[in-house]
Amino acid sequence: MFNYLISSAADPYSSHQQLQIAEVKLTEMEMQLPPHEGDELSVVDMHTGGEPLRIIHSGYPEVKGDSVLSKRRYVREHLDHLRRVLMFEPRGHYDMYGALVVDSELPEADLGVLFMHNEGYSTMCGHAVIALGRFAVDYKLVKEPQSPETQVNIHCPCGLVKAFVEYSEGKTGGVRFLSVPAFTFATDVTVSLERFGDVTVDISYGGAFYAFVDAKRFGLDVTTSRTRDLVDAATAVTNAVKSQVKLYHPTSDDLAFLYGTILTDGKDDYSSDPTANMCVFAEAQVDRSPTGSGVTARVALQYHRGLIRLNQTRTFQSGATGSQFTGRAVEETKCGDFKAVVVEVSGRAFYTGVSRFVQEPEDKLTHGFLLK
């Protein structure tokens, strides 16, 4: 575009000189913000396995609270309008996901984080942890990075998660993380769905609670069926479990809620071949990645059933994009009275850009909207 305009204009400067001038003017224009109210909100956008992560870099008001969990309650009660601004259209979309870096009360934590999505605030997010690991090293939120891996301790609402970021010659790469204790809450639970009748599900915790069911129960395939059909089936399961099963977490009532349903390909017996799943969480939001906390919960479930041994690595594939995470149980532990495991999940995250958002005073849609 610039080359065409320059070559056709009658001007004493050469095309190369005009291009340089145009680029300087464009750069100056990009540095200026339009008229707006309130603070500028700056973000760094990434994706992990296709699942977006909008990391809020600056512009958020002070988040009050003496713990990460209390900060989660504070943003839900006092700053939720900013979640809608950044997650909803026109700046985001129905399936946008976000992370707000906050201070942690844990001395060993490098950073705390609050996760946000179309419905509210989750307690754990594996794809976000993978992206935040790279972000923390690249944006110098940790001390001098080390090769071949730099450890980043991330305090999530569910607890401390240890991420390990590949680092070589100044560049970050893949990330693995060690989960909070993951456990199976219940197996072979029957719930009644209005459209589908009685369905048997398993419920497992990987920083958040998920219901698991084979997609074939609904005549579906997680890799080939229409996303809308998968969403409808998973949402029906989520609603049924929420209304018919009371969840419990031994350390905090804030963690005792069903985050979503994961439809699987039914290949739970150990194999070197990938096993696929599709996670539908929050307000029928579709995860494009294999779902890090979902992989954690699924590994815990497979270990509970004796289908996978300690340090036996499995590959989990997203039914939406085909992207892959690996997961393995590395240590037995306890979470209250539950037998639990620490799960290691590995994946890759990539940067997609940076943005600076403002709100114009006369924009009636500035606070965001969603199309359902």
CATH superfamily of 182-346: Diaminopimelate Epimerase; Chain A, domain 1 (3.10.310.10)
Question: For this structure, is 125 an active site residue?
Answer: yes
Distance CA 218, CA 263 (A): 10
Q: What is the per-residue DSSP string for 33-80? A: PPS-EEEEEEEEEEEETTEEEEEEEE-PPP---SSHHHHHHHHHHHSH
Name the pTM for this structure. 0.91
Amino acid type, 231? V
CATH 3.10.310.10 residue ranges for the chain? 37-178, 182-346
Tens digit of each residue's pLDDT, the chain (372 residues) = 333 333 334 444 455 566 565 555 555 555 678 877 777 999 999 999 999 999 999 999 999 999 999 999 999 999 999 999 999 999 999 999 999 999 999 999 999 999 999 999 999 999 999 999 999 999 999 989 999 999 999 999 999 999 999 999 999 999 999 999 999 999 999 999 999 999 999 999 999 999 999 999 999 999 999 999 999 999 999 999 999 999 999 999 999 999 999 999 999 999 999 999 999 999 999 999 999 999 999 999 999 999 999 999 999 999 999 999 999 999 999 999 999 999 999 999 999 999 999 998 889 999 999 998
Question: For the domain bounded by 37-178, which CATH number is listed?
Answer: 3.10.310.10
Local structure of 225: helix, strand or coil = coil
